[in-house]
Structure 1
Amino acid sequence: MTQRTTADPPTGGGLPAPSPALLITMLGRRLSAEIEGDLVVHGLTLRHLSALGHLRRDPGRSYSELARRAGITVQSMQATLRQLEALGAVERRSPSGRGRTAELHLTDAGNRLLAAGQDTIAAADRRLLATLPDHDAATLGELLVRLVRAANVGAEA
């Protein structure tokens, strides 16, 4: 006889509910795929959107600072920013002085792409929450914020 874990779906009759961690993971994967599919029309990915958001909040960061904040390697961030530069969304400014690190800044095109990406996220939010009464949607948002804070997600941002 095999032992059931909380990650297994319930079979009814008073068995424990499925794992919240598993449910959040499943929902997160589905939402990520959905959002990525919607962002592609703008030539963006979630990684691009994250880099644009970091640069808007804190312009002038270097590749390594952005990589650290996003939790990815410097090489991955460089590739992401090269793609954004090709889209005209990011510009590299070299401060005077030998050995100075290039500073990265959003362009007007970058601000427009970021706005389009934020609209895409807002549309995903509306689709996700459409089946919930307003008070449940608000409660879900509050609970997710508490869980994110407790897990220290985004603390490097």
Structure 2
Amino acid sequence: MTAQPQATSAAFLLTVLGRRVREDVEQALRPTGYTLRHLSALGHLKREPGMSYSELGRRSGVTAQSVQATVRRLEERGAVERRTDPGRGLTAELHLTATGEDLLEAGRNAYARADAVLERVLGAQAHRDLTAALLTALSGYPGR
């Protein structure tokens, strides 16, 4: 039998808080018609323009098929452009557009609002300490 997580477990609390923050950010994005999955794809393409579907899927932790559906939606909305001809077996070169940049700004604003809530609840110094601790944990926590 697996032990139940305790309310004082850091991992459990991060999971619960992460879910709440994610819900707030997704709600803030809802009027744009985009989701965190779209925002994630755009963020990866901002950092590394020209990425292929396969690489974008690896970075996002989803299948190439799933990322294709995400990118197709982004292309339809004018947030991403493909600079190679479509075709089976060809590597797509994907780039952000001005619309994609605007969406990333909407995402930054949504996260800034969530950060403001955290800072209000914790206080400025505790918020800075939490941010530093999370960066340390992320840098040392084994990735996929």
* TM-score w.r.t. length of structure 2: 0.89
What is the count of residue pairs matched by the alignment? 140
Candidates 112, 122, 127, aligned match of 1:137: 127
Query: 2: distance between equivalents of 1:145 and 1:25?
Result: 16
Root-mean-square deviation (CA, aligned residues, Å) is: 1.9
Residues 16-63 of structure 1, C-alpha deviations (whole Å, 9 max, x = no match):
xx1111100011111111111111111111111110011111100110
Inter-CA distance 82–135: structure 2 relative to 1 (3 Å threshold): same
Query: 2: distance between equivalents of 1:64 and 1:25?
Result: 28
Give runs of ≥4 in structure 1 deviating > 4 Å: none
The reply on whether 1:8 has 2:6 as its aligned counterpart is yes
Larger radius of gyration: 1
Following superposition, the deviation at residue 6 of structure 1 comes to 7.5
Superposed, 1:65-80 pairs within 5 Å as 65-80=55-70
Candidates 102, 109, 116, aligned match of 1:112: 102
Structure 2 gap ranges (5+): none
Identity of aligned residues (%): 49
| Alignment check: 8 A CA contact 1:60 1:103 kept | yes
Residue of structure 2 in register with 1:84 after alignment: 74
Structure 1 gap ranges (5+): 10-17
| Alignment check: 8 A CA contact 1:6 1:19 kept | no
Query: 1: distance between equivalents of 2:16 and 2:65?
Result: 29
Superposed, 1:1-157 pairs within 5 Å as 7-9=5-7, 18-94=8-84, 100-153=90-143
| Alignment check: 8 A CA contact 2:6 2:12 kept | no
- Report SS of the residue matched to 1:24: helix
Query: 2: distance between equivalents of 1:31 and 1:133?
Result: 17
* TM-score w.r.t. length of structure 1: 0.82
Residues 63-83 of structure 1, C-alpha deviations (whole Å, 9 max, x = no match):
001001111111111111111
- Report SS of the residue matched to 1:101: coil
| Alignment check: 8 A CA contact 2:25 2:107 kept | no
Query: 2: distance between equivalents of 1:112 and 1:152?
Result: 33
